[in-house]
Amino acid sequence: MRPLTMLQRALESPEHAARYLNRLYHSFAHGDDHYRNGVAVLGEDWDNLILLDGCRYDTFARHVDWDGSLDSRYSRGSSTVEFLRANVSNETLDDTVYVTANPQFHQHRDELEAEFHARIDVWKDDGWDDEYKTVLPETVAEYALSAAEEYPQKRLLVHFIQPHYPFIGSKTSFDKRQLHSDDERPAFWNEVFTGQLDLSAEEIRPLYDENLRLTLPSVEELLAELRGKTVVTADHGNAIGERSFPIPIREWGHPQGVYMEETVKVPWFVWENGDRKEYCADSTPDSRDRGDSEVVEQRLQELGYRT
């Protein structure tokens, strides 16, 4: 999000004004373009990196009892775009295939100027679920296993959209399909933040947890099938009503530039399965970069982004 846009939103409501001031503090304290204490994921040792979008460390630790090693790390961003800018901008990643359910890379590809050997956009065409308005975890796992078979000598970066909104489990009285007409564009966390949607953390947290629980079987499938060293982590966390600082407003979602424990502390689960991969970092990209800009905008809006 650009500074001018942030300033414009600060004028919309007292909540946005307080968030804007908190962003200024965090920018001064931690870095003006990303969270400087975060891990540079591309420089870490892995054959397969699984990103759970918006997954908090504490939530992951409560629900996962797998064999392997669980630790925590801090992300370089509190949003997907910030994470991508801080980790892949201007990189030539010809040893890596990116399988993603999140359209944000495509939306910002000209700015990021990162080149993967191949990028597989699961959110396009058959990968998108029209009922839930998202990409379901089992679909991501299917695409990831196909990519692993097609590119056995490449590192695999797999980006699930859950536990990020929308909630794919229990139906709720505030489901966006009931709350909004077809031509209105919801931004779930923003509506909770500004009080347009009157929900408590106690109402939302079980749904967020359920989104993660519904995703874990697909992650386990990848851990069992992918060879080499696999790391499960997140691009950022997610606030659910915790207070930010220095102005102690309640935060919701994962606003860019707000570096709370809940928005940047992420899991770092390590699992090893068989022999490590032998990489072939060739310079001939497998380009599949296609996508109508209107489709991208629609997908992002249905995922709850305020575009």
**The tokens of 29 are what?**
């304290």
- Sort strands 265-273 and 69-74 into parallel, antiparallel or unpaired: antiparallel
Q: Which residue has the higher pLDDT, 264 or 294?
A: 264
pLDDT tens, 82-130? 999 999 999 999 999 999 999 999 999 999 999 999 999 999 988 999 8
Q: What does the block give as tokens for 8? A: 């414009």
Q: How many angstroms separate the CA atoms of 163 and 238, rounded?
A: 9
C-alpha–C-alpha distance, residues 253 and 189, integer Å = 5
Q: Is the peptide bond before 248 cis (omega within 30 degrees of 0)?
A: no
Greater pLDDT, 5 or 262: 262
pLDDT of residue 174: 57
∠ at Cα 237 (47, 19), nearest 5°? 140
Predicted confidence (pLDDT) per residue in 47-71, tens digit: 999 999 999 999 999 999 999 999 9
Enumerate the domain spans of the chain. 6-303
Q: Which of the pair, 192 or 30, is modelled with greater confidence? A: 192
Amino acid letter, 242? E
CATH of 6-303 among 3.30.70, 3.40.720, 1.10.3470, 1.10.1740: 3.40.720
- pLDDT tens-digit map of 153-189: 999 999 999 999 999 987 665 555 434 434 444 588 9
Phi-psi region of 274 (alpha: psi -120 to 50; beta: other; left: phi over 0): left
Mean pLDDT, the chain, whole residue set: 88
Q: What is the rounded average pLDDT of the residues 273-284?
A: 74
Share of the chain above pLDDT 90, in %: 68
SS3 assignment for the chain: CCHHHHHHHHCCCHHHHHHHHHHHHHHHHHCCCCCCCCCCHHHCCCCEEEEEECCCHHHHHHHCCCCCEEEEEECCCCCHHHHHHHHHCCCEEEEEEEEECCCHHHHCHHHHCCEEEEEEECCCHHHCECCCCECCHHHHHHHHHHHHHHCCCCEEEEEEEEECCCCCCCCCCCCHHHHCCCCCCCCHHHHHHHCCCCCCHHHHHHHHHHHHHHHHHHHHHHHHHCCEEEEEECCCCCEEEEECCCCCCEEEECCCCCCCHHHHEEEEEEEEECCCCCCCCCCCCECCCCCCHHHHHHHHHHCCCCC
Instruction: Of 73, 92, 78, 93, give the one whose Cα is nearest residue 33.
Output: 78
pTM of full prediction above 0.85? yes
Rounded CA-CA distance 156/144 in Å is: 8
Separation between Cα atoms, residue 54 and residue 117, nearest integer Å: 25
Closest CA to 195 of 237, 252, 121: 252
